[in-house]
């Protein structure tokens, strides 16, 4: 299991920096199928909003303190000769695992391009490269190197949002008592690394189609397919393939404000909603947490949810597009 497209879309809604989850000081928490995507209905995180989690004072999983970056100094175009970012790459990355790049001085990556099997293109468009180093497209973070991330430049992830309608004992859709709208449920995992609830996503392997990443990560993290018997694994694969071959709703595609980000490495994702409308597909499979998840449950979509990274914003878009309670 893995450890760790430039296009402008019509925004469904916009978010101010204050709407991003404020808990940036917590520890941080990655049979082929064709991805059928409905017409783009996604929100975009506003480029004018300074990334907040990417400037959390203490870098997650370490004692390293970032160089403080005020809002008015985030933009690379703002002259700031006093900027002295701290350099940090986690020991887990320095031991050169298969999912990580070499030291930047040891090879010559092709940035803003498909570099062999590694996609170093950004969903945000071309990013700046200065003195051989890629620069975070959203600006300064107070830290250089790779931190906990494996790739120089963009680190691509995929987040499958699997939903169903909440139903009563008679099989009827449950309406929220206040909004009177039907309640959606989504599969959520409790991350082992930070204890926060999240969408069961993961990193896109080199050369892997995003559609395959979405299916693989959900199977491994929410259904623990790797530990299943051959018979159960076949049943899981059949149900999952059926769902993930259905039209998916692309919710988001772009930069993620993540506490692991730094000046030279950052997270990007593609979030796609797969909906079990009748409740007779993946809904009938028993949920079982995989190795990256402590727990896994069907959880009601609601605006009071507090989730990892920007996952609450993804779910808000899903609820509005499905005309469900939020």
Question: First CA to last CA across the chain, in angstroms?
Answer: 33
Between 74 and 282, whose confidence is greater? 74
pTM for this prediction:
0.77
Separation between Cα atoms, residue 223 and residue 262, nearest integer Å: 32
Residue 167's pLDDT band, with cuts at 50, 70 and 90, is very high
Q: What is the pLDDT of residue 220?
A: 80
Q: What is the pLDDT of residue 130?
A: 97
pLDDT(5) > 80:
no
Q: Strands, E, within 91-201: which ranges?
A: 114-115, 118-119, 129-130, 133-134, 143-147, 153-165, 184-191, 197-198
Mean pLDDT for 18-47 is: 36
Q: What is the pLDDT of residue 137?
A: 97
Between 310 and 323, whose confidence is greater? 323
H helices of 61-138, in order, are: 91-94
Mean pLDDT for 116-130 is: 97
Q: What is the pLDDT of residue 291?
A: 64
Most confident region among 130-139, 210-219, 310-319 by mean pLDDT: 130-139
Q: What is the DSSP letter of 173?
A: B
Separation between Cα atoms, residue 146 and residue 150, nearest integer Å: 7
Residue 293's pLDDT band, with cuts at 50, 70 and 90, is low
pLDDT(2) > 50:
no
Tokens 């709703």: give the residue.
Answer: 249
pLDDT(31) > 90:
no
Residue 245's pLDDT band, with cuts at 50, 70 and 90, is confident
Q: What share of the chain has pLDDT > 70, as a percent?
A: 83
Q: What is the pLDDT of residue 280?
A: 80
Mean pLDDT for 9-29 is: 32
Tell me if 53 sits within 8 A of 312, measured CB to CB: no
Separation between Cα atoms, residue 145 and residue 103, nearest integer Å: 9
Instruction: Give the DSSP per-residue string, 33-72.
Output: ----BPSP------TTSPPSGGG-SB-TTSSPBPPP--GG
């Amino acid at each position: 299991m893995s450890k760790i497209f430039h296009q402008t879309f019509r925004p469904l809604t916009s978010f101010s920096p204050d709407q991003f989850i404020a808990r940036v000081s917590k520890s941080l928490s990655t049979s082929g199928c064709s991805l059928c995507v409905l017409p783009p209905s996604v929100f975009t995180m506003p480029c004018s909003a300074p990334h907040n989690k990417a400037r959390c004072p203490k870098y997650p999983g370490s004692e390293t303190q970032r160089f403080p970056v005020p809002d008015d100094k985030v933009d690379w175009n703002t002259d700031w000769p006093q900027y002295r970012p701290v350099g940090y790459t986690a020991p887990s990355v320095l031991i050169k695992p298969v999912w990580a790049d070499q030291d930047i001085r040891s090879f010559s990556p092709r940035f803003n391009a498909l570099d062999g099997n590694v996609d170093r293109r950004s969903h945000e468009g071309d990013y700046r490269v200065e003195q051989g180093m890629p620069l975070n497209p959203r600006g300064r973070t107070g830290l250089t190197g790779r931190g906990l991330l494996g790739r120089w430049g963009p680190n691509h992830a995929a987040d499958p949002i699997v939903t169903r309608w909440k139903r009563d004992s008679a099989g009827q859709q449950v309406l929220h008592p206040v909004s009177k709208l039907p309640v959606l449920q989504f599969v959520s995992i409790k991350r082992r690394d930070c204890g926060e609830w999240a969408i069961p996503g993961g990193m896109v392997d080199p050369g892997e189609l995003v559609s395959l990443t979405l299916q693989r990560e959900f199977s491994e993290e929410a259904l623990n397919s790797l530990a299943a018997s051959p018979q159960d694994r076949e049943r899981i694969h059949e149900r999952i393939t059926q769902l993930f071959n259905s039209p998916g709703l692309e919710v988001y595609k772009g930069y993620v404000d993540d506490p692991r980000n730094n000046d030279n490495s950052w997270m990007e994702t593609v979030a796609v909603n797969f909906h079990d409308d009748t409740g007779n597909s993946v809904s009938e499979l028993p949920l079982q947490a995989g190795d990256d998840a402590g727990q896994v449950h069907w959880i009601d979509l609601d605006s009071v949810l507090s989730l990892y990274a920007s996952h609450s914003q993804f779910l808000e878009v899903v609820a509005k597009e499905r005309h469900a309670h939020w």
